[in-house]
Amino acid sequence: MKLLSIKEYAVSHKLSIYNVVKMTKNGQLQTQTEKIEGKDEVFICVDEIEEVKPVQQEQEKIDDFEKAYYKLKLQYSQLKIKYENLQKKI
């Protein structure tokens, strides 16, 4: 088990801090409270296996972005050719 602060968890899972706080209050995430410098701070208990998942999802998103980019580039080039043909007719 690894302990992450709310901010670290939010950054690693690409969530807002507000949503992470809501998830801890609802009991969706395991938490542990520790006293640091006289203040109670909440840490989220994370299994090390869980941290690998966002990396795999990120790779899939990159592939999706690349596919979408090439698709849009193809559409752009087709529209550019049509536009140039219309300009020639005018």
Do 41 and 58 sit in the same domain of this protein? Answer: no
Do 42 and 60 sit in the same domain of this protein? Answer: no
Do 39 and 54 sit in the same domain of this protein? Answer: no
* pTM higher than the cut 0.85: no
Do 57 and 78 sit in the same domain of this protein? Answer: yes
pLDDT of residue 67: 84
Range of the domain at 24: 1-46
Do 78 and 38 sit in the same domain of this protein? Answer: no
Do 65 and 42 sit in the same domain of this protein? Answer: no
pLDDT tens digits, 34-84: 898 888 898 998 876 544 455 455 566 667 788 888 989 999 999 999 999
Do 35 and 12 sit in the same domain of this protein? Answer: yes
Alpha-carbon distance 76 to 64, whole Å? Answer: 18
Do 62 and 35 sit in the same domain of this protein? Answer: no
Which candidate, 33, 26, 35, 31, places its Cα nearest to that of 45?
31
